[in-house]
Structure 1
Amino acid sequence: MKMLYIASSVFAILMGIGVIVVRMKASKKPTSIKKIILPPVFMSTGAVMFLIPEFRVSSMELLEAVTVGMLFSILLIKTSNFEIRDKDIYLKRSKAFPIILISLLIIRIIGKGMLSDSIDVGELSGMFFILAFSMIVPWRIAMYIKYQKLSREIVN
């Protein structure tokens, strides 16, 4: 069980580093609605895990995961802004974004360590999927709204 916690934590750290690298590269190219909307769509396929009973969560666990995910999304929304360059819309680089992402990752790993003794690993996996999805959806909706606002400025 301890090995699974360590392996999943290492994987989460590598994914976090990957997100930071992708985000830094993304600021060098114009963004699009497709680039904003597709990540949560692709992530939603992970909900198939709930077909397996071991991953299902209680109503209270669902509420907790959604609440924490939405709270975490506020930090991501605050650090995700766009700018117009050469009639294209670019994601602005934020010095705070990597720090916030790493902090959220650390909080998530600590929380997982604390909860892994009292919640079954399958349920905990389900909760963290819900947390991540509840974080990415509001963040991407906010990005979409900001993008649309800037795209109307380009047209005018």
Structure 2
Amino acid sequence: MNYVVVSSVGAVFMGFFVLFIRMKAAKKPTNAKKIILPPIFMSSGAFMYLVPQFRLTPMEILEAVIVGMLFSILLIKTSKFEIRDNDIYLKRSKAFIFILIGLLVLRLVLKTILSSTIDIGQLSGMFFLLAFSMIVPWRIGMYRDYKKLFKQLHGKH
């Protein structure tokens, strides 16, 4: 149970870190690199699956990927760009903050419930895969929206 508490506290700090980064990012113009790099950096976390205790069953993989992709819909819907001062900015969204906090609370509740039936290593593997399955479609959607505005702004096809 101690691992669940420690990882939950870590998740709360990460959630607030993401909120802080997101609010700060809205003040500066964005670019394709800022959209694409986070999932690439996060992908290194998949090395955890080299350790047997983190490996997942096919059903756990399927569940984590489906839930992550469903959660990504909320993030995609609340991530919009706008052209300001001849640059592309991520629009601030009050809904994004509530959605991110809601997803964090849901994650903590699920982790608490599932930790009684799923080994902590496998559960960690599932939540990593869930987060990755949420971030990749979200960033792909952001990239597509960014490229549309980039073409509009620079007239490139």
When the two structures are superposed, what TM-score results if normalisation uses the length of structure 2? 0.97
Secondary structure in 2 matching 1:28: coil
Structure 1: segments with no counterpart, 5+ residues: none
Aligned position for 1:10: 9
Q: CA deviation at 1:67?
A: 0.3
* Amino acid of the structure 2 residue aligned with 1:84: I
Secondary structure in 2 matching 1:93: coil
Distance in 2 of aligned mates of 1:77 and 1:107: 18
**Number of residue equivalences:** 155
Secondary structure in 1 matching 2:116: coil
Secondary structure in 2 matching 1:29: coil
Superposition CA RMSD, Å: 0.6
Aligned position for 2:22: 23
Aligned position for 1:149: 148
Distance in 1 of aligned mates of 2:130 and 2:22: 20
Aligned position for 1:116: 115
Q: CA deviation at 1:86?
A: 1.2
Distance in 1 of aligned mates of 2:27 and 2:3: 37
* Amino acid of the structure 1 residue aligned with 2:40: V
**Map 1:3-82 → 2, pairs under 5 A:** 3-82=2-81
Distance in 1 of aligned mates of 2:22 and 2:6: 24
- Of the structure 1 ranges 143-152 and 4-13, higher mean CA displacement relative to structure 2 is found in 4-13
Structure 2: segments with no counterpart, 5+ residues: none
* Amino acid of the structure 2 residue aligned with 1:34: K
Secondary structure in 2 matching 1:90: strand
Secondary structure in 2 matching 1:117: coil
Q: CA deviation at 1:3?
A: 1.8
Secondary structure in 2 matching 1:89: strand
Encode CA deviations 1:66-85: one digit per residue, 9 max, x unaligned: 00000000000000000001
Encode CA deviations 1:58-99: one digit per residue, 9 max, x unaligned: 000000000000000000000000000111000000001110
Q: Percent identity?
A: 65
Aligned position for 1:100: 99
Distance in 2 of aligned mates of 1:155 and 1:61: 44
Encode CA deviations 1:15-55: one digit per residue, 9 max, x unaligned: 00000010000000000100000000000000000001110
When the two structures are superposed, what TM-score results if normalisation uses the length of structure 1? 0.98
